Amino acid sequence: MNDPEAQRHGGGRNFLIAALVLIAIVVADQASKAWILTRIGPRGDSNEIKIIPGFLRFIYVENSGAAFGLFQEKSPILTILAMVVIVFLIVYFRRAIAGSLWLSIALGLQLGGALGNVIDRFRHGFVVDFVNVPKWWTFNVADSAITIGVIMLGLYLVTRDPGPEEEKTQSGAPVSEAPHAED
């Protein structure tokens, strides 16, 4: 957006959207995990819930590691790392969010997912995972949101038009002011 006034108004809307996406993901993540804990957790009444027999089921997994079960038993380090990533995303992309609805949704998904898993690490000392597809890792709503948000961020970075300042620095020569693609 070239118009600072339009960017200021759109920026406020986009921050609100990012915040609403973040809140929706944290609520959905924590509610689904609470439900799993009561249904099939350590005190649950069954050990699995078949959603699509042979393809998709809910099971209870205590993940003290990172994504895909990596770095097991490193929860305190992973909690600190997740908090650093959350702060980095907020600081690094705060101006970019103002100019892009797509990016604000992507970052809301990532931040909501990261926060949902950090809440688990503080509450339980591990992350509750429960969505299980055969021959795949067990995951949760927060993990899904992070993955979708990262894919959206990647698409944004690959398909966006660089602004005039970025074009100048990439080519080394000044570029005429051209309109930006907007979401």
> Any idea which residues carry the catalytic annotation?
129, 143
Helix (H, G, I), strand (E, B) or coil at 85: helix
Angle in degrees, 0-180, between the axes of helices 4-39 and 75-98, rounded to the nearest 10: 150
> How many C-alpha atoms does 100 have within 13 Å on its Cβ side?
24
Q: Which stretches of the chain are DSSP H helices?
A: 4-39, 75-98, 101-124, 141-159, 164-171
Q: Report the alpha-carbon distance of residue 153 to residue 147 in Å, rounded.
A: 10
Contact 145, 112 (CB under 8 A): yes
